[in-house]
Chain A
Amino acid sequence: MGRYIIRRLLQMIPVFIGTTFLIFFMVYALGDPVAAMFGDRAPDPAAAAQIRRDLNLDKPLWQQYLLYMGKIFTGDFGTSFNGRPVIELMREAWPITLRLALIAVFFEMVIGITLGVISGLRRGKAIDTAALIGTLIVISIPTFVTGYVLQYLFGVKWGIAKPTVSADATFSELLLPAIVLALVSLAYTTRLTRTSVGENARADYIRTAVAKGLPRRRITIRHLLRNSLIPVVTFLGIDIGNLMGGAIVTERIFNIQGVGYQLWQGILRQNAPTVVGFVTILVIVYLLANLLVDLLYAVLDPRIRLA
């Protein structure tokens, strides 16, 4: 187990370097951060050159990248172009998005898996058809449409939830945005669980368990669910990264000042240190989530040995 984790961590290094370099390249080489600092005015050439020297932008790209990465590992994410240290922005934004994503994943797991198990065990019945049609419709409506429609209905028309989220981003305020964020993934989770449960319900060990006279509840939870969850766990692991990236849309609709909001501002103003810093952390979260998924495999299925 320990050796497996170390090997996986080592394998992550090239992926981490590749991904961060790609983002670094897009932000620094395709755009011109210094020109963006001056807004619409033409920058004074001497001042621009001075800024380039200060920010190491006059060096070749690979050297800039190495310098940047070196600083990151000492905890210095640089200073955003409007003068605030990026790490300070992160300290404000990450807890909010993390809370949002965790509530969303909670909905996905509880509602998605429950619905999936119910419809997988009652294949072809009314509830199964309803779940299939419902999830299909949810999948085809893009998040930004659901976001505005639910915000309009719940927040404006019926006044059940607050249409926008304050700077504190309390739990009750984040409930509606989290549902919006979770909906599409929730539908995928339901469909995956349904397929997986439907396949496993015919397996020999289920027939054995039924023949032994075990209570249905126990068969479903201990035998069926445990074996059916592997593809679902894979999906949820990959989805954590997508949820945090996808939070850009949700955070914009509900005016949440989280990671998506900061990234959005950073990209629009070509605020290069902010963008690269936030994306770097996102990539690390994504890679660690994938590792966690692989470790969970062994817990769910003892036949899988990690070595």
Chain B
Amino acid sequence: MPDPYDQRPHDERNSATELRPMDLATEEAEALERHEKATPARSLWGDAWYDLRRNPIFLVSAMLILFLIFIAIWPSAITSGSPYDCDLSYANQGSQSGHPFGFDNQGCDVYTRTVYGARASVMVGIFATLGAALVGTLLGGLAGFYGGWWDAILSRVTEVFFSIPILLGGLVFLSVVKSGSVWPVIGFIVLLGWPQVARIARGSVMTAKQNDYVQAARSLGAGNWRMMIRHVLPNAVAPIIVVATIALGTYIALEATLSFLGVGLKPPTVSWGIDISTASQRVRNSPHALLWPAGALSLTVLAFIMLGDAVRDALDPKLR
């Protein structure tokens, strides 16, 4: 059990041998060496991967996500019709043979549209997260590494972005965009999402920079660039990955909310948010047209949040 009141830094907590006098430790060190030969030492990543493979939550969510990515790339693998193939004479009809989810109020097949809707959500989630993580790591990492005026400016800038409610910013920013494709939405999420990553990256780079091995590398004459890439970044990236995975789920929900409000994706792009918005006007008579895309959306967000939780549990040394 970790002791929350342990005053030592995290990296020293589990290395009790270091604190002992050398002569006492030699014998144990030999024993440790023999032990290590039997079970090869794992890095943080090896350890995390070992944990993840045994975590049922991770396995379930990873399979769900792989399935989603599969139908996002190749929706016609499990559907036969086109999402634009609508017949008004079927409008609002319930489930029937060949059309298990029924029809929406335009007479489109809800099943086909739900499957095709995965593409927009998955694309927004993955690309927005990649963008926000890259920009945030770069800016936050540099601020944490160099400190000084660059850090001061960045801290103020992140505060500015934090004080804009994200939905509101989305409404204002995207309402002037005429295109209904995924790219403006991705651009906007990166614009408002990077400060969150930057804040984490800054903190974890500052911690990693203090480590003895980084100071050792510096005294051996390593340049800033080499120190950053070889020593600081590999040891600072775990918290960034955790934040980014959890953010991915919330970005998908954000895209759907923006599309629901009419400023995110717009027809003819097929999106769960748009379909839910259209179906909400007829929820009293044909709730099925709302429930299927809403269920798919919630399941997707759930899968990504569970994945983020599992990754956090595996990567957070405090929980070991």
Select one of B157, B263, B294 contacting A18, CB under 8 A: B157
Main secondary structure of the interface of A (DSSP, over half): helix
Min Cβ gap A65→B in Å is 15
Contact B168 A263, beta carbon cutoff 8 Å: yes
Q: Is B176 an interface residue (CB 8 A)?
A: yes
Q: Which A residues from 13 to 43 make CB contacts under 8 A with B?
A: 14-15, 18-19, 22-23, 26-27, 30-31
Contact A23 B261, beta carbon cutoff 8 Å: no
What is the chain B residue whose CB lies nearest that of A23? B172
A204 to B277, CA, bound (A): 53
Contact A202 B301, beta carbon cutoff 8 Å: no
Interface stretch among B22-30, B37-45, B158-166, B231-239?
B158-166
Q: Give chain A residues whose Cβ lies under 8 Å from the Cβ of B262.
A: 268
Contact A142 B172, beta carbon cutoff 8 Å: no
Main secondary structure of the interface of B (DSSP, over half): helix
- With an 8 Å Cβ cutoff, the count of chain B residues facing the other chain is 46
What is the chain B residue whose CB lies nearest that of A246? B167
Interface stretch among B9-17, B209-217, B252-260?
B252-260
Min Cβ gap A237→B in Å is 12
Contact A249 B302, beta carbon cutoff 8 Å: no
Min Cβ gap B37→A in Å is 35
Q: Give chain B residues whose Cβ lies under 8 Å from the Cβ of A26.
A: 169, 172-173, 176
Select one of A152, A253, A270 contacting B284, CB under 8 A: A152
A185 to B305, CA, bound (A): 15
Contact A249 B260, beta carbon cutoff 8 Å: yes
Contact A279 B4, beta carbon cutoff 8 Å: no
Q: Give chain B residues whose Cβ lies under 8 Å from the Cβ of A18.
A: 156-157, 159-160
Annotate A241-269 by CB proximity to B: 1 below 8 A, 0 otherwise. 11011101100110000000001100110
A30 to B174, CA, bound (A): 10
Q: Which A residues from 203 to 255 make CB contacts under 8 A with B?
A: 203-204, 238, 241-242, 244-246, 248-249, 252-253
7 new A-B contacts at CB < 8 Å, known A136-B305, A279-B168: A18-B159, A26-B172, A26-B176, A202-B4, A203-B4, A246-B167, A264-B171
